Every structure is written in C-alpha cells, then in structure tokens.
A = this chain, B = another copy of it.
C-alpha cells in the first residue's frame, strides 16, 4: 500500500473553486439558454456543429467523434431533437448501417436566434471577467488535461 498524496492547500482551493465554477456556470448557461431559446447546451452544441458542416448534414458517428460524445448519448440526443423537429435522420446509402443527421429549417432558425444571446451570456459571465493572460492559461490547462485523458484512454483500451 503506497503513501497517499493528498491535495495541498492551494490545490484544495483551486479544485473546489473549479468544481464550483463548473457546476454553477454550467447550470446558469443551461437555464439561460432554456429560457431564451428553449434549447439545452447539448442541443446547442449539436446545432452549432451542424451549421459548420457542408449541407448541414453529418454522419452520426462523425458528429459523435467531433463532440467527443459517446455513441449512445448521441443517439438519444438525435432522437429527442428529431421529435422536436430540429433535425431529421436520413439513411446512408454507402454504408447501410449508418445514418445522417440533417439540420431542418426550424433547427437553423433556432440556432440563429439562440447563438447571439448565448455568446453574450458567456461573454458577460466569463470572458469579461478574465484577462487575456488568464484566457491563454485556461486554454493551456485544457489542452494538457485533455492530453492526459487521451493518453489514459489510449493505453487503457
């Protein structure tokens, strides 16, 4: 049994702060988006990616990879969004197991009205409070941690 390396005071503070920010900011953004535009953050991410892609049309598997979501989550998400008319599923002729997700006009309208408001909220609550340097550091932190996750999940499999 090896020695346990507990967190030091600075780490404790940073970690609790991060968890709290993460939780409350996420909750706030979700609620705001819901009130303003009747979308969840998950809906938003899917819609944004669809507008970024030729013909607003992607393979499900591609979308999942791009957002780094599990396949099953994506499948359920698409099902719910289809029910609300934001996207439709289409069959894939080249690979008959596969499927496309396609943005509907209604989905496009939704993201076009939602995006500016959402960006404004993010700016107000987040970027307006941060210095350029802090933004850069946060980017670096994210990259490093994502690197750690990628490594573990690569070797682990």
- Considering only CB atoms and an 8 Å cut-off, how many residues of chain A contact the other chain? 53
Q: Chain B nearest CB: distance from A62 CB in Å?
A: 17
Which residues of B have CB within 8 Å of A11?
127, 135
Decide if A122 touches B15 in the complex (CB within 8 Å).
yes
Which residues of B have CB within 8 Å of A129?
144-145, 147-148
A13–B119 alpha-carbon span in the complex (Å): 14
Most B CB within 10 A of own CB, among A21, A25, A119, A120: A21
Decide if A28 touches B138 in the complex (CB within 8 Å).
no
Segment of A1-9, A75-83, A88-96, A103-111 engaged in the interface with chain B? A1-9
A81–B110 alpha-carbon span in the complex (Å): 39
Which residues of B have CB within 8 Å of A147?
129
A32–B138 alpha-carbon span in the complex (Å): 24
Decide if A143 touches B28 in the complex (CB within 8 Å).
no
A40 at the interface (CB under 8 A from B): no
Known: A11-B135, A139-B14, A143-B17. A68 touches B24 (CB 8 A): yes
Which A residues fall within an 8 A CB radius of B? Answer: 4-7, 10-11, 13-15, 17-26, 28, 45, 68, 116, 119-120, 122-130, 132-149, 152
